[in-house]
Amino acid sequence: MSTHAARLAALRDQLRRDRLDGFVVPLTDEHMSEYVGGYAQRLAWLTGFQGSAGNAVVLPEAAAIFTDGRYTLQVREQVSADDWQFVAVPQTSVAAWLGDNAANGARIGYDPWLHTRAWVEEARAELAARGAELVAVDTNPVDAVWPDRPLPSPAPLTVQDDAQAGATSAAKRAQVADWIAAEQADAVVLTALDSIAWLLNVRGRDVAHTPVALAYAIVAADGTADLFIAPDKLTDAVRQHLGNAIRLHPRDAFAAALRGHAGKTIAADPNGAVAAIFDTLEAGGATVLPRRDPVLLAKATKNPVEIAGHRAASVRDGAALARFLRWVEAEAPKGGLTELDCVAKLQQFREATGVLLDTSFDTISATGAHGASPHYHSTPESNAPLELGQLYLVDSGGQYADGTTDVTRVLPIGSPTAEMRDRFTRVLQGHIALATAVFPVGTTGGQLDGFARRPLWQVGLDYAHGTGHGVGAYLSVHEGPARIAQPFYPGGGPAEPLRAGMILSNEPGYYKAGEYGIRIENLVLVEERSFSDGAPFLGFETLTFCPIERSLILPELLSTAERAWLDAYHAEVLAVLSPAFDADERAWLAEKCAPIA
């Protein structure tokens, strides 16, 4: 029996002891985070799946894992089809699958600290229609059979200086206090780790690649706050920074504190706060006001200091990536170079900046068929050599104290085929269409998503992920509430108007299963555009500086305007990066940035 099959069997044994007929295992933590600490990686431990989004359901005779189109190939490579059914979302939801597969009278368990109330209500209704029951557990049964489960990170908090944050925590909390007053509430519960980090101007190291700390906060109407965090994370410098306006409590005192708001109106985000928080507040006699986290929009709308910091981070990161691409171009044709060799080398180039704090996510280093999995993660078992005739895709980013980066480039190893060049050019055309979009205030990212797909749609092609996501200011590389995606594409969600100051990715792609993947990604800043009649419009400023591979472009497919954008972009890349390069590097960069033929 394989390791993961044994773990599945152990969980089923535990469910029998707990008198449960099934259990739902999401890939998240108590904060509904996308990226989670090792202690919360229950889905990966149970199934072997290494993606960043998914769910599983375990029943006595069946088990299913739910992933979206980004992971269609990856989940089949990492998870045993002998033990698990592969279910696509959003075509099928976990709740709907339970409604179809749970036995009459079954008791299906869930951890109320890992699901939203909306999910609980949906699943409960589906199960009720089958004569089955959804049961909240006090102890997660996966934890009971995970003998070497990691402890939460002990890493201390650090201070994000006001000079880098662009605003004091007091000023930010005053904004939240104004919002609380406008909502006629007494306080708001904050559970999103990046919201707490941004609001208090602190950072942490509890989650790989995301500089946040495990904590909860309750902000009062007077702008003071209660912070629930492990005491050993609080250095003298952090305590001094937080000051008397932030009352400090152990993290495990949070649930008890929720019960102490009888007669008060407490706001909580129904999409970000787990069901247990709503249940506990109500059990304590509070009135719960379901409202979106008031920090989300303020955090996403970068201030001038945050924007300036990101520009500086983009220049140094672009130089590191360009050096890496030059190295791959020289070394790969010799043979012997692998995906993991490339990960290590790119890390070296970023570390050479002297200010890299972390990568912003696990580097996607994918050659050949691996590139067709948009979120592929190379492991020692999957590590493949870069071979002639392949396309090599690298999607990576850095965490710097002044900004978070995310960029994707593709290189041919040897000569690309005509089809590869055609697809690459169409992806580039979509990228340019979005980069040059001008749109009225109030436009959502979903309304722009089709701009990037049109060149592919014209020949019957598409890609199964959103076109863009928000990016934080030395915070999460995936940041809401805005995104460039239709709700039915993975990465999509509720419509959110774009606002000046938001930073998002522009990353259309194309993926041919079993052969190659293409994605071109830059980060863009939403900025105001002025017209003579004064109409309020917005557009994008491209923030990423790194050459786009010219040998993969079919010039005859490009319009005059597309050629002009590409040449202007490359001229800017050359001007911005050249001062950091030596003579040989500048000569290479000049060739890569030459006007398109």
Q: What angle (nearest 5°) sits at the alpha carbon of residue 227, between those of residues 226 and 229? A: 150
Domains 3-144 and 158-299 share a fold: yes
pLDDT attached to residue 152: 93
Query: For residue 513, which amino acid is it?
Result: A
Q: Is the pLDDT of residue 114 over 70?
A: yes
pLDDT attached to residue 72: 87
pLDDT attached to residue 541: 98
> Residue 78: enclosing H or E segment and its boundaries?
helix 72-78
CA distance 242 to 235: 11
pLDDT attached to residue 24: 98
Pairing assessment for the beta strands 438-440 and 503-506 based on DSSP bridges: unpaired
> Residue 404: enclosing H or E segment and its boundaries?
strand 403-404
pLDDT attached to residue 163: 93
% of the chain residues with pLDDT over 70: 99
Mean pLDDT value across residues 12-20? 97
CA distance 122 to 473: 35
529-567 pLDDT tens trace: 988 787 899 999 999 999 999 999 999 999 999 999 999
76-106 pLDDT tens trace: 989 999 999 999 988 899 999 999 999 999 9
CA 109 → CA 149, 171, 323, 382, 469, distances in Å? 20, 43, 51, 34, 33
CATH number, domain 3-144, options 3.90.1300.10, 3.40.350.10, 1.25.40.10, 2.120.10.30: 3.40.350.10
Domain 158-299 CATH assignment equals 3.40.350.10: yes
Lowest mean pLDDT among 51-55, 62-66, 358-362, 460-464: 51-55
Which residues does residue 366 pair with via DSSP β-bridges, in sequence order? 393
CA dihedral angle for residue 285, residue 286, residue 288, residue 293, rounded to 10 degrees: -140
469-524 pLDDT tens trace: 999 999 999 999 999 998 876 666 678 999 999 999 999 999 999 999 999 999 99
Mean pLDDT value across residues 172-186? 98
DSSP three-state, residue 392: strand
DSSP string, 308-349: HHHHHHHHHHHHHHHHHHHHHHHHGGGS--BHHHHHHHHHHH
145-165 pLDDT tens trace: 999 999 999 999 999 999 999
Q: Is the pLDDT of residue 279 over 90?
A: yes
Mean pLDDT value across residues 168-172? 98
Mean pLDDT, the chain, whole residue set: 96
Check whether the bond before 481 is cis (ω within 30° of 0). Answer: yes
pLDDT attached to residue 531: 86
pLDDT attached to residue 462: 97
Q: Which of 464, 434, 439 is nearest to 450 (CA)?
A: 434
Q: Is the pLDDT of residue 248 over 80?
A: yes
Beta carbons within 10 angstroms of residue 586's beta carbon: 15
Pairing assessment for the beta strands 133-136 and 107-110 based on DSSP bridges: parallel
Going by pLDDT thresholds of 50, 70 and 90, the confidence category of residue 267 is: very high
% of the chain residues with pLDDT over 90: 93
CA distance 490 to 71: 10
Mean pLDDT value across residues 141-147? 97
Give phi and psi for 143, each to the nearest 5.
Answer: -60, -30
DSSP 354: S
pLDDT attached to residue 487: 81
CA distance 326 to 592: 10
- The domain 301-592 belongs to what CATH superfamily? Creatinase/methionine aminopeptidase superfamily (3.90.230.10)
- Ordered by start, the domain boundaries in the chain are 3-144, 158-299, 301-592
Comparison of pLDDT for 68 and 417, the residue scoring more: 417
